[in-house]
Structure 1
Amino acid sequence: MGTEAQSGRRNHVENDPKDELVRKDVVLDKWLPITSSRNAKWWYSAFHNVTAMVGAGVLGLPFAMAELGWGPGMAVLIISWVVTLYTLWQMVEMHEMVPGRRFDRYHELGQYAFGEKLGLWIVVPQQLIVEVGVCIVYMVTGGNSLKKFHDLVCDNCQSIKTTYFIMIFASIHYVLSQLPNFNSISGVSLAAAVMSLSYSTIAWAASLHKGKMEDVDYGYKASTPAGTVLSFFGALGEVAFAYAGHNVVLEIQATIPSTPEKPSKKPMWRGVLLAYVVVALCYFPVALLGYWAFGNAVKDNILVSLARPTWLIAAANMMVVVHVIGSYQIYAMPVFDMIETVLVKKLRFKPSLLLRLISRSSYVSFTMFIAITFPFFGGLLSFFGGFAFAPTTYFLPCIMWLAIYKPKRWSLSWITNWVCIIMGVALMILAPIGGLRLIIVGAKTYRFYS
């Protein structure tokens, strides 16, 4: 009873050590980044979740407020905070819903809820879109913030293309991507979490210090009703992007030890609650004060709108760089786990440092190339936020909860989950439309690799 609750296949190995196939699976589990280490503390959950959630999305919230307006904007922010906290609680609860087994990965829970094959087809494409999409957006964010820092501290220097700054940012990840598992990046994640709180504080404090712009306008920017509606849809995606920790929550919980007496959900939930307090302290002041100061003239990255005091904004941009370095690794780790599982189990490669070096470096190169080619920050937030984040964050946990627990019809649980599902589906349909419009508008004046 005092030993850690393991997956079904590990228990099987103990009963039948001669089973060679299962023995290989256990060896693979000990090599893969998600399951290789299970000694994390509850505070690891806190700063991993802060790093996963408070990222590029917080910088775009004032811009989202400008497209939503005061009333709808406040409502969307508060509803999203409540709904995503609820669905995150569901994920934490479902991690060990089967005695003696842990759902260490999102798709494993999906397979239990929907069946072995259907679960993979439902969850894996959406999760990959989210995680790869976040990595691409963070490549853009890191490169833009590095460029902004350079331009602020070196006013008379020759201008350098954003492309080169994205490449500089990517070079860091060629090194960090070789760290084996979640626990090995805990130091990077802690630094990222501290930076997220720091630059968010700078963003709202600098907005408050600056005060309202002269002739500030809180009306909608678009000149036509159609443009206003599409911008509104895009803003929904930007908010959805800001609440994105669900895609890695099971993988984070997998690193926490668990016994029947002390299940992992208790320390995990403690960390999640602390993380959501930090989320509220970051999101709401930045969104409201950024919009209050600049109105509909605010940029899609609030730090771009803020230019004074120079040293403070330069420091904030460098904090963003440190934070998205950690966030990139948090979202890349489950992708590394999937890639390495396929390479070893399907393509029969041997687990090795060389395999890890080639596969992870190839992934970093891919995300860097896409980021260099399509660096449309606001549009990317909206598109990915609606297309993929809405399902995996707002309503897929609710569907799995209904499928597994089968609450009584018209009970509070049944009604709550169906309300979340309806809102999430509407978000998934509407937000990508607005995001695609932002990308098209940005593409009109964009020159490739500039």
Structure 2
Amino acid sequence: MDTEATKGISIRDSAAEFDDDGRIKRTGNVLTATTHIVTVVVGAGVLALAWAMAQLGWIAGIAIMVTFSSISIYTYNLIADCYRYPHPTNGKRNYTYMQAVDAYLGGTMHVFCGLVQYAKLAGLTVGYTITISTSMLAIKKAICFHRRGHQAYCKFSNNPYMVGFGMVQILLSQIPNFSKLTYLSTVAAITSFGYALIGSGLSLAILVSGKGEATSLFGNKIGPELSKAEKIWRVFSALGNIALACSYATVVYDIMDTLKSYPPESKQMKKANVYGITTMTILFLLCGGLGYAAFGDHTPGNILTGFGFYEPFWLVALGNVCIVIHMVGAYQVLAQPFFHIIEMGANMVWPSSDFINKEYSTKMGSLTISFNLFRLVWRTIYVIVATVIAMAMPFFNEFLALLGAIGFWPLIVFFPIQMHIAQKQITRLSLKWFLLQLLSFMCFLVSVIAAVGSIRGIRKNISKYKLFMYKQ
């Protein structure tokens, strides 16, 4: 009797500790998922949306931001329904985007998805290294301009800041998995609101003081300072900036895989998509609209690091501090899925290797730290390589924009739509099938336009490039 009772307790305890797939029970919810989304989406690029608004004008700028946000909510909800296969609520889990594509669309699409997804993730980590060094330089320049005057020579190398950031990321990269990033992600999300609101507040202060520049319903006007061809190129870049700002497809399943099993993950994620993207859109409109209203045709590429503002210098510096803190967390949110796929592959190839699979524990006072030799070596090498690339090519943002342009259509639109068609068995050439394919084609054109603009930017910058000698 006692034995049977003990067995019953053991089974119940096991059920309480593990999910249906045998893994430790997930504890994430709508709030934590929304936090991860905001951390990834509301990056420092939000401060560049004022420039995008200046190229497009009020009508097109607002319409495009709202349109792309609406498309993103729809397609990310399709992605959420494909977390499990074949049924959205009780099928087998897909732990990664690639697994979902493989389950619904087959092996060829699975390989294509992996190439696009992980190339983009790797590129983003390099881009974040550049972004954080730019913000740290902006802090130093804000102090320099305050002390020496706005016309002073305040240009410095960003290499030391990249090295420092790389060292921090080597340490943070030893966090074993995505589910352990909740606190880091929460801090990053809070700081993203900080710098977005500081940028918006400084723009609002200019408007209230009556110093705002003239704006237009149709954006910057063609004239002596802006040729017709340059206007078109800028519109292309602006379209790409807004469309690509909506992207978190590279980590969407990693976010979903942190959610508890009840209510169904797809229902929780759909709410998180709505909350996260709505928050994103409000911040986009706020920063983009106020920045454009403040600076008009002379809107800088980034209203905090481009020195649209000089004073109060401490507030400009504080905004850039918020960017730095946010980038520290966002780097890990994006890097962890890339780390995971490499480590999962190594585990499959060498399942009995202690170097790859064995966990070691060490105590530092009351704190117990777990580490793995392969994780330690491989992640350290990766961060070093990403940092060196960022130092060698500090205009890598153009390459990053190209990666983003290539990733926007397949990851955010094409794969979700094709998986939805397969899941719901939508009849080929039916009205719904036709409308879905039309949406996919229109977004494909946006990706092409953004890619063309990025390639042109690369060509312009590469002619004046000196290895490791760039100063800002």
Shorter-chain TM-score bucket reads 0.7 to 0.9
1:125-164 to structure 2, matched below 5 A, reads 125-155=115-145, 160-164=156-160
Cα deviations by residue, 1:282-336 (Å, 9 ceiling, x for unpaired): 1111111112211232222121222222111110101011111111111101100
Aligned to 2:404: 385
375 and 395 in structure 1: CA distance in 2 versus 1, 3 angstrom threshold? same
Alignment counterpart, residue 68 of structure 1, candidates 29, 40, 56? 56
SS in 2 for 1:60: helix
Kept in 1, the 8 Å contact 2:138–2:317? The answer is: yes
- Is the 2:101–2:110 contact (alpha carbons within 8 Å) kept by the matching residues of 1? yes
Judge conservation of contact 1:238–1:381 (CA < 8 Å) in 2: no
1:173 counterpart letter in structure 2: Q
Equivalent of residue 102 in structure 2, options 105, 111, 116: 111
| 2:460 maps to amino acid | V
CA contact (8 A) 1:237 1:384 kept: no
Aligned to 1:433: 452
- What amino acid does structure 1 have at the position aligned with 2:137? K
* Bigger Rg, structure 1 or 2: 2
What residue is the counterpart of 2:383 in the other structure? 364
- Shift of the 332–339 alpha-carbon distance from structure 1 to 2, 3 Å rule, reads same
Offset of residue 154 of structure 1: 4.9
Q: TM-score, normalised by structure 2?
A: 0.82
In the alignment, is residue 287 of structure 1 matched against residue 288 of structure 2? yes
Separation in 2, partners of 1:103, 1:361:
28
Give the whole-Å Cα distance in 2 for the aligned partners of 1:381 and 1:207. 28
- In 2, distance between residues paired with 1:265 and 1:174? 34
- 1:242-273 CA distances to partner (integer Å, 9 max, x unpaired)? 111122111111111215xx312222223222
Q: TM-score scaled to structure 1, two decimals?
A: 0.86
Structure 1 pair 375/429, CA: closer, same or farther in 2 (3 Å)? Answer: same
- Tell me the amino acid that sits aligned with residue 292 of structure 2: Y
Separation in structure 1 between the aligned mates of residue 256 and residue 170 of structure 2, nearest angstrom = 26
Question: What letter corresponds to residue 298 of structure 2 in structure 1?
Answer: A
Q: 2:338 aligns to what?
A: 335
Shift of 1:94: 1.3
Aligned to 1:84: 72
1:53 paired with 2:41, answer: yes
**Corresponding position: 1:194 with 2:194:** no
Relative to 1, partners in 2 of residues 1:315 and 1:201: Cα closer, same or farther, differing over 3 Å? Answer: same
Gap change, CA 1:143 and 1:422, over 3 Å in 2 = same
Letter of the structure 1 residue corresponding to residue 281 of structure 2: A
Between the two proteins, the alignment pairs up a number of residues equal to 421
What's the counterpart of residue 230 of structure 1? 233
RMSD: 2.5
User: Distance in 2 between the 1:301 and 1:190 partners?
Assistant: 24
Task: Give the 5 Å matches for 1:92-103.
Answer: 92-98=80-86, 99-103=90-94
| AA of the residue aligned to 1:182 | F
CA deviation vs aligned residue, 1:392-423 (integer Å, no higher than 9, x gap)? 11332112212332224576743542232012
Inter-partner Cα distance in structure 1 for 2:25 and 2:357: 16
Judge conservation of contact 2:19–2:25 (CA < 8 Å) in 1.
no
State the AA in 2 paired with 1:240.
A
Structure 2 residue runs of 5 or longer lacking an equivalent are 1-11, 149-153, 359-371
**Cα drift, residue 87 of structure 1:** 0.6
